[in-house]
Structure 1
Amino acid sequence: MEKIRIAVRKFDPFESTLRKLWDAFSLQNNIKMEAEMVALELHDLYETTISDKGLKEGKWDIAHINTDWIFDAANENAVLNLFSLIGENPPENYPFGWHKSLLHLQKLSNGIFGLPFHDGPECLIYRKDLFEDETEKENFKKQFGYELSTPKTWQEFSEIATFFNRPEQNLYGAVFANYPDGHNMVFDFCLQLWTRGGSLLNKKNQIDIHNEAAIKALDFYRKMVNDKNAVHPKSREFGSVEAGLAFAEGQAAMAINWFGFASMAEVIEESKVKGKIDITSLPSDPGHKTASLNVYWLYTIGSGSKHKKLAYDFLRFATTPESDKLLTTEGGIGCRKSTWKDAEINTLIPFYHKLEMLHENALTLPQTPIWPKVAELIDGVVLKAIETDISSAILLEETQKKIRELSQGTTLHGSVKN
C-alpha cells in the first residue's frame, strides 16, 4: 500500500505531535493513506533529505528542514516552491498570524519554500527558585560582593555558575551542548561573538571570523566550558536535546539553549523543575547589547513528491492555530502569535509571552550555499579550542583561510541583520 513519507527531526514532542495531527487530518478528510514517519538525528536528516537527494527524488514527501539548510535545499531544487499553492489556498490568517521574523528565511528568489513549524530563539534559561532563595542570595553576596540576579555580563555568568556548582547534589552551575554536530557550538560561538559587538560578516559582506571580537568570544567560551567547577561534566556528550533534558531533570542552575527546552521543562512528565524556571536575555560584554539567535524549523514538501497536493493540504492543517497550540502542549514551540498570547499556554508555561521579546533581539545566520560547510568549520574550530591549548587567534586564522577558499565565487543572499 502506498504511503506518504515524512522525515521528522528526532524529538519526542515532534514525533507525538505529527502522529496526532496526521490521525486527526485523516479522520477529518477521510484520508485512507497511511503516513510513515521516520525520526532522524540532525546529521542523518540533512543527509537523507538534501545530500542524498531524498526530497528531490521523491523518497520523502514532507520533511522538517531547519532554516540553516533551507538555502541549500532550495538551491538544490530539493524542496517545492509553495508560492502559488499559498496564493491559491493560504494557511489560516497567512501571513499575519506569524511574527515577521518567522517568515523571511524561507523566502528566496521570489519563492516560499516552507511553512513555520517549531521555533524558540536562544535564551538564558535559569532556575528562578535558586535565584530567589533568600539564603542563596545572602551567601552569594557574602562571597562575591554584589546582589544575586540573572547575569548581565559574561563575567557574572561565570561567577554565578561557580556559585551554584554542587556536584554532591547532582547540581551544576551551567550545562552546555558541546557534542560536535555542526550546530550547538556554532550557535554558541555566534552568540558569544554578537554579545561582544562582533559580526560574522565584514564590511564587504563576506564571512570573516578572524577578528578581535571573535578571539575574545572563543577565549571565553573554551575557558567556560572547560571549567570543572562550573559546568555539567557531561556537556561534551550532550546535544541540545540532552542538555535540555539534563536541565529539566534539575541538574543545572543555568543553560544557554533554545526557548523550546525551557518550555519543554514545564510540560514533560519527567521534569523535576516545573514551576521553578524562567527565561531571560543572554548576558553581554559591558558596553555591548544582548543578542539572540533565530533558527527555526519548517515544514517542507519534497520537489519529487508524488503526493504534493495531499502534502500541502496536510501542511495547512498542521499549521492551524489549534495544531500550533497542540505542538506547544506536547513540548514543542508553536510559531503563531496566537499561541504566544494564549491564556491557557501562559498558565501552563508562565514565560511563554516572552517569545516576542526574544524575537526583537534575534539575529540570523548568513544565507549562502556554503553555510553548512562554514558551520562545520566553525564547529571544528570550537571543538579544537576546547580540546587543545592552541591560541584562539591561530585557530581562527587557520579556519578563516579555509572559509576564504570555500567562498570563492559565492555570494550572500540579501543582507543579514547583525
Structure 2
Amino acid sequence: MEKIRIAVRKFDPFETTLQKLWDTFCLENKISIEAEMIPLELHDLYEEALAKKGLKNGDWDIAHINTDWIFDAVNSNAIENLSPLISQNPPQNFPEGWHKSLLHLQEINNQVYGLPFHDGPECLIYRKDLFENETEQINFKNQYGYDLQPPKTWQQFTDIAAFFNRPEQNLYGCVFANFPDGHNMVFDFCLHLWTRGGSLLDKNNQININQPSAVKALDFYRNIVNNKKTTHPKSKDFGSVEAGMAFATGEAAMAINWFGFASMCEIIDESKVKGKVDITELPHNENHKSASLNVYWLYTIGSGSKHKKIAYNFLRFATTAESDKLLTNEGGIGCRKSTWNDTEVNKTIPYYHKLSMLHENALTLPQTPLWPKVAALIDIMVLEAINGNLSSATLLEETQNNIQKIL
C-alpha cells in the first residue's frame, strides 16, 4: 500500500498537529493514502533528509527543514521548487498573510522552496510575578541601587540572575541550553556578538568571528554559564526543549530561548507558571541595540517524491489560517499574522501579539551552503570555552582558522 512519508521535527505539538491535519485533509479530500510520520531529533532529521539524501532519492515526500539548512537543501537539489505550483494554486492569502521576515530565507534566486511552518524568534522570557512583587522590588533596590525591571543590559541581567538565584527553593536566576547540538550555543554566541555591536561577516561579506566584540561575547557567556550564583546547574545538559521545560516548571526567573517556549508556559499541563510569564527583547551592551535571531521551520517537498501533487495540496492545507491557529493551540508557534493578532490566542497567551515586535529586530544567519559546517565549528568552540581554560581570544583565532579551511 502506498504511503506518504513525512520527516517531522520531534516535538509533541508538531506531532499531534500534523496527525490532526492529515486526518482532516484526507476526510475533506476523500483521500485514503496513509501518512507515515517519523519524529526525528534535530541532528537525525538533518542526517535523514539531507546528509543521506533522503529527500532527493524519494525516501521522504515531505520534511520539516529549518532555515539554517535551506541553502544546503537547495544547492544539493534535495527539495522541490514550489514557485510553479504556487503560481498555479497559491496558498491562502499568499504572500500577504505572513510577515516579510518569514518569507525571504526560503526564497533563493527568486524561487520559493518552502512554506513557513513554525516560528518564534529568540527573546528574553521572564517571570513577571517575581519582577512585579513589591517585596522583591524593595529588596532588589536596597541591594543594587536601581529599580527591578526586565534587564536592558547584560550587567543588569547578571545582577537580576544573582538576585533571584535561590537553589534551596529550586529557583535559579537564569537557564541556558548548552547541549552541543550545533544550534543552541551557536545561536547564543551570535546573539551575544550582535548585542555587543559585532557581526558574523567582515566588510568583504566573508564569515569572520575573530574580532574584539566576539572576545567580549564569549568571555561573558562562558562566565555566566559556569556561574553557580546565577545559572541553573543542569544548563550544560539541556537542549532548548529541556531548558524550556525547566522554565515552565518554575525553575528559573529568566531564560533566553525561542518565543515558543514562552507560549508553552501558558498551554502545557506541566506548566507551573501559567499567567506569570512575559517576554521582551534581549539585553544588550551600553551603546548597542538589542537583537533577535530569526530561524524558522518550513514545510518542504522532496525532489525525489512520487507524490508531489498530494504533498503540495497538503502543504496548502497545513498552512491555512485555521491550521496555523491549530498548531498554536497545540503548543507550536503559528506563522501567520492572523494568528499573532487572534483575540482568542492572545487571551491564552497574552504576549502573542509581540511577535511582530521581535521580528523587527530579528537578524538572520549567513546564507551559505557551508553554514552547517561553520556552525559545527562554532559549537565546538563555545563548548571548549565553557568547559576548558583556553582564552576566548585563542579559541576564536583557532576557530576562524578552521572556518577559513572550509571557506
- Is this a same-fold pair by TM over 0.5? yes
Deviations 1:205-237, CA, capped at 9 Å, x for gaps:
000000000000000000010001111111011
Over the matched positions of the two proteins, sequence identity in percent amounts to 74
Letter in 2 for 1:304: G
Query: By how many angstroms is 1:142 displaced?
Result: 1.0
1:249 & 1:53 partners in 2: Cα distance? 39
2:13 & 2:246 partners in 1: Cα distance? 16
Structure 1 counterpart of 2:178: 178
Structure 2 counterpart of 1:127: 127
Specify every segment of 5 or more residues in structure 1 that has no aligned partner in the other structure, as ranges: 408-418
Structure 2 counterpart of 1:410: none
Letter in 2 for 1:119: D
1:285 & 1:310 partners in 2: Cα distance? 50
After TM superposition, list the pairs within 5 Å mapping 1:27-46 onto structure 2.
27-46=27-46
Deviations 1:150-195, CA, capped at 9 Å, x for gaps:
0010011011001111111111100000000000000000000000
Deviations 1:274-324, CA, capped at 9 Å, x for gaps:
100000000000000000000000000000000000000000000000000
Structure 2 counterpart of 1:416: none
Aligned residues between the structures: 407
2:36 & 2:261 partners in 1: Cα distance? 27
Specify every segment of 5 or more residues in structure 2 that has no aligned partner in the other structure, as ranges: none
After TM superposition, list the pairs within 5 Å mapping 1:66-215 onto structure 2.
66-215=66-215
Query: By how many angstroms is 1:35 displaced?
Result: 0.6
After TM superposition, list the pairs within 5 Å mapping 1:292-331 onto structure 2.
292-331=292-331
Letter in 1 for 2:305: S
Structure 1 counterpart of 2:231: 231
2:348 & 2:118 partners in 1: Cα distance? 18
1:282 & 1:325 partners in 2: Cα distance? 26
Structure 1 counterpart of 2:395: 395
Across the aligned residues of Structure 1 and Structure 2, the Cα RMSD in angstroms comes to 0.5
Query: By how many angstroms is 1:369 displaced?
Result: 1.0
Query: By how many angstroms is 1:2 displaced?
Result: 1.3
SS of residue matched to 2:359: helix
Structure 2 counterpart of 1:414: none
Structure 2 counterpart of 1:359: 359
SS of residue matched to 1:197: coil
TM-score (structure 2 length as normaliser):
1.00
After TM superposition, list the pairs within 5 Å mapping 1:245-284 onto structure 2.
245-284=245-284
Query: By how many angstroms is 1:247 displaced?
Result: 0.6
Query: By how many angstroms is 1:90 displaced?
Result: 0.3
Letter in 1 for 2:79: V
Letter in 1 for 2:289: K
SS of residue matched to 2:246: helix
Query: By how many angstroms is 1:386 displaced?
Result: 0.2
SS of residue matched to 2:324: helix
1:202 & 1:96 partners in 2: Cα distance? 34
1:379 is the counterpart of 2:353: no
1:110 & 1:76 partners in 2: Cα distance? 17
2:347 & 2:145 partners in 1: Cα distance? 36
1:265 & 1:299 partners in 2: Cα distance? 25
Structure 2 counterpart of 1:412: none
2:79 & 2:170 partners in 1: Cα distance? 45
1:249 & 1:310 partners in 2: Cα distance? 41
Query: By how many angstroms is 1:110 displaced?
Result: 2.5
Letter in 1 for 2:161: A
Deviations 1:311-345, CA, capped at 9 Å, x for gaps:
00000000000000000000000000000000000
1:131 & 1:220 partners in 2: Cα distance? 24
